[in-house]
């Protein structure tokens, strides 16, 4: 397809403008055809953006290595560029649009000389659905093109929906020098535009994902009365034959992908089933029947590799058997891949994520183990490969949601599960949720950080306006979903996880499903409603009474310290924090003090 064949004049003008800025020597429109995809793969193999894996063992799978200084989202280089700083709020980095465009323009200038610029028209959400949004990404990275073909619905069909004057998000991306000093991830909500330069990895570069489907979309969602959230979406089929759909927001690398494709423990398999709708992003809409409905705007998964194996996540292992791009994992000379905790033979002649010779157990000069795969190494795989995929992933309005889960990685404090008293209390729980920072963020690993709705790095506008929007949104719903908090990561005195997690998380979901359908009572505690011990099915688990008590313990001293930390966090949000959030905080404090 040629540029002249585009029917959308503004799109054509913008492409020419950007190609001129970058001095691209060629413009290639990605049409989504298999024929073109094969050609692009050949190109990527030639210029070494991709390495071919053993095609017998991994059909249609490829390997990619990003540069050692480009392995995770860089939040300190990510900006919301609104006319006023106040519109970006107290939690975002802000830059004025004028300065932002100038700075990025200087880096983009001439950066594609002698090379091709690819044009990727993509739909976030089923093509043609009234809930979907269209973006067009321009990029000089074939890795980005081939990943976007997995992660989104991309190609000519999207142009057909766009028509001659349809609205789209302008997503400008370039690798430039891949130098962190010349890297900027810029969002212009008022212009429906994203400019990302200097990074080729993950949420920095696959612009449909965090940049469009969360930062830009959250801004649009507030104006159009919906929610764009960092959430998995899943269905839980119960013995009565009902499927209950829920969403769950956990911060990066805190278990969304794993929960979304959970396999029930053996004794529950006959009666309980799990259906995967999405593993990272949910768009939530109030529908005319008074319920909340959700679609997954994505079409693939960008999942964390380390820790994924046939025990922890058999569905993910099936999903990545074909049609997958692996990034920053271990590679051996037979074209096989490996990562930490994979239950496959570790390679004897492998190279690590940096391309250096590596063997299992290798140590650095200080005697520390050297990992073969980067902790944020990932697989990019189509959702259609997932054995637990829901049949409804392409439904234009998605699925009806009965519960929302919030959770993080807390070694202490937070019990396995508790339920909010009502919507407002639930929004407070979500606002004050916290987690230990993981390798998905470049900086601050290990420290506990408050991460409202797991959206702190992804809210495209002022967080206080976002919280007000949440509060109002639920109150307007005739059937608001129930809100729960979960924590799979609480540890005992010996530093071991108290809860087995993974497939056994179904036991918690069972309780949640029963709560949603009014089938089970609960214990009221100062922090919310918790399961009665007899209502949690722990058959077959090796958990003693002591561990169980620890899992559900609400410790007054611990919570008093937590309340102080929360207060400091809420103070940081400033004077425009919605009053209801602070009111809920004081109510909780009162209840804890009475303990």
- Site for ligand SPV, rule CB under 6 A: 73, 202-203, 209-210, 252, 280, 302, 440
Shortest Å distance, C-beta 409 to ligand SPV: 13
The binder of 188, among ligand SPV, ligand GTP, Mn ion, none, by C-beta within 5 to 8 A per type, is none
Contacts of 405 (CB under 8 A, 6+ apart): 246, 247, 248, 249, 250, 484, 485, 486, 512
Q: Binding residue for ligand GTP (CB under 6 A) from 60, 69, 273, 312?
A: 312
- Binders in 252-271 for Mn ion, by CB under 5 A: 252
Q: Alpha helices of 432-537 — where are they, by DSSP H? A: 463-476, 506-516
**Position 298 contacts Mn ion (CB under 5 A):** no
Shortest Å distance, C-beta 95 to ligand GTP: 25
Shortest Å distance, C-beta 454 to ligand SPV: 8
Return the bridge partners of 123, or none: 134, 153
Closest CA to 440 of 176, 238, 91, 203: 203
d(CA 417, CA 194): 38
User: Of 376 and 432, which CB lies nearer to ligand SPV in the complex structure?
Assistant: 376
Closest CA to 18 of 98, 80, 155, 111: 111
DSSP run (H or E) holding 150: helix 142-151
Shortest Å distance, C-beta 259 to ligand GTP: 7
d(CA 256, CA 232): 6
**Position 248 contacts ligand GTP (CB under 6 A):** no
The binder of 255, among ligand SPV, Mn ion, ligand GTP, none, by C-beta within 5 to 8 A per type, is ligand GTP
- Supply φ then ψ for residue 428, to 5 degrees: -65, -45
Of the ranges 62-70, 218-226, 301-309, 381-389, which one interacts with ligand GTP (CB under 6 A)?
A: 301-309
**Position 280 contacts Mn ion (CB under 5 A):** yes
Closest CA to 174 of 109, 124, 82: 109
Shortest Å distance, C-beta 307 to ligand SPV: 15
Tally Cβ neighbours within 10 Å of residue 10: 14
Of the ranges 11-19, 32-40, 184-192, 501-509, which one interacts with ligand GTP (CB under 6 A)?
A: 501-509
Shortest Å distance, C-beta 326 to Mn ion: 18
- Supply φ then ψ for residue 211, to 5 degrees: -70, -55
Asked if 207 and 196 count as a contact pair (C-beta separation under 8 A), the reply is yes
**Position 279 contacts Mn ion (CB under 5 A):** no
- Binders in 456-495 for ligand GTP, by CB under 6 A: 488-489
Return the bridge partners of 408, or none: none
* Catalytically annotated residues: 254
**Position 190 contacts ligand GTP (CB under 6 A):** no
**Position 229 contacts ligand GTP (CB under 6 A):** no
**Residue 305: is it exposed, middle or buried by C-beta count within 10 angstroms (0-12/13-18/19+)?**
buried
What is the binding site for Mn ion (CB under 5 A)?
A: 252, 280
What is the binding site for ligand GTP (CB under 6 A)?
A: 250, 252-258, 279-280, 303-304, 306-307, 312, 440, 488-489, 497, 501-502, 505
């Amino acid at each position: 397809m040629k540029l002249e064949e585009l029917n959308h004049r503004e799109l054509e003008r913008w492409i020419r403008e950007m190609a001129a800025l970058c001095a691209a020597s060629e413009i290639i429109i990605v049409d989504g055809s298999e024929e073109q995809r094969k050609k692009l793969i050949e190109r990527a193999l030639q210029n070494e953006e991709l390495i071919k894996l053993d095609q017998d063992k991994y059909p249609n799978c490829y390997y990619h290595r990003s540069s050692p200084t480009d392995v995770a989202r860089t939040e300190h280089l990510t900006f919301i560029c609104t006319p006023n700083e106040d519109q970006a709020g107290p939690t975002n980095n802000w830059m004025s649009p004028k300065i932002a465009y100038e700075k990025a323009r200087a880096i983009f200038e001439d950066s594609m000389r002698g090379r091709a610029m690819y044009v990727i028209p993509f739909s976030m959400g089923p093509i043609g659905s009234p809930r979907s949004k269209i973006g067009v990404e321009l990029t000089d990275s074939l890795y980005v093109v081939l990943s976007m073909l997995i992660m989104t619905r991309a190609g000519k069909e999207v142009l057909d929906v766009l028509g001659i004057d349809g609205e789209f998000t302008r997503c400008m991306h370039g690798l430039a020098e891949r130098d962190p000093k010349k890297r900027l991830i810029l969002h212009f909500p008022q212009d429906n535009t994203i400019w990302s330069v200097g990074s080729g990895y993950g949420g920095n570069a696959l612009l449909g994902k965090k940049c469009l489907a969360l930062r830009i979309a959250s801004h649009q969602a507030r104006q159009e009365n919906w929610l764009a959230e960092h959430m998995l979406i899943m269905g839980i089929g119960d013995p009565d034959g009902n499927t209950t759909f829920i969403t769950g927001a956990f911060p990066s690398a805190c278990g969304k992908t794993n929960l979304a494709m959970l396999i029930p423990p053996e004794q529950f398999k006959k009666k309980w089933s799990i259906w995967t709708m999405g593993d990272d992003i949910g768009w939530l809409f109030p529908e005319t029947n008074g319920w909340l409905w959700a679609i997954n705007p994505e079409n693939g998964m960008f999942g964390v590799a380390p820790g994924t194996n046939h025990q922890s996540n058999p569905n993910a292992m099936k999903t990545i058997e074909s049609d997958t791009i692996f990034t920053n994992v271990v590679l051996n000379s037979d074209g096989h891949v490996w990562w930490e905790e994979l239950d496959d033979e570790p390679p004897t002649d492998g190279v690590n994520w940096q391309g250096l010779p590596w063997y299992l157990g290798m140590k650095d000069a200080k005697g520390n183990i050297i990992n073969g795969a980067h902790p944020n190494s990932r697989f990019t795989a189509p959702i259609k490969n997932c054995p637990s995929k829901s049949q409804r992933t392409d439904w234009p309005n998605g699925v009806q949601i009965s519960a929302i889960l919030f959770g993080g990685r807390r070694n202490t404090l937070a019990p396995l599960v508790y339920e909010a008293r009502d919507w407002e209390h639930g929004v407070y729980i979500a606002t004050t949720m916290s987690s230990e920072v993981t390798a998905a963020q470049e900086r601050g690993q290990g420290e506990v950080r408050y991460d409202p709705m797991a959206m702190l790095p992804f809210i495209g506008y002022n967080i206080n306006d976002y919280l007000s929007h949440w509060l109002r949104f639920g109150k307007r719903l005739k059937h608001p979903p129930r809100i729960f908090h979960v924590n799979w990561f609480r540890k005992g005195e010996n530093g071991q996880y108290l809860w087995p997690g993974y497939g056994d998380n179904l036991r918690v979901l069972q309780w949640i499903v029963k709560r949603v359908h009014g089938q089970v009572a609960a214990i009221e505690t100062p922090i919310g409603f918790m399961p009665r011990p007899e209502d949690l099915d722990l058959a077959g688990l090796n958990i003693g009474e002591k561990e169980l008590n620890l899992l559900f313990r609400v410790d007054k001293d611990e919570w008093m310290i937590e309340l102080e930390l929360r207060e400091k966090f809420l103070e940081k949000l400033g004077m425009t924090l919605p009053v209801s959030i602070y009111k809920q905080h004081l109510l909780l404090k009162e209840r804890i003090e009475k303990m």
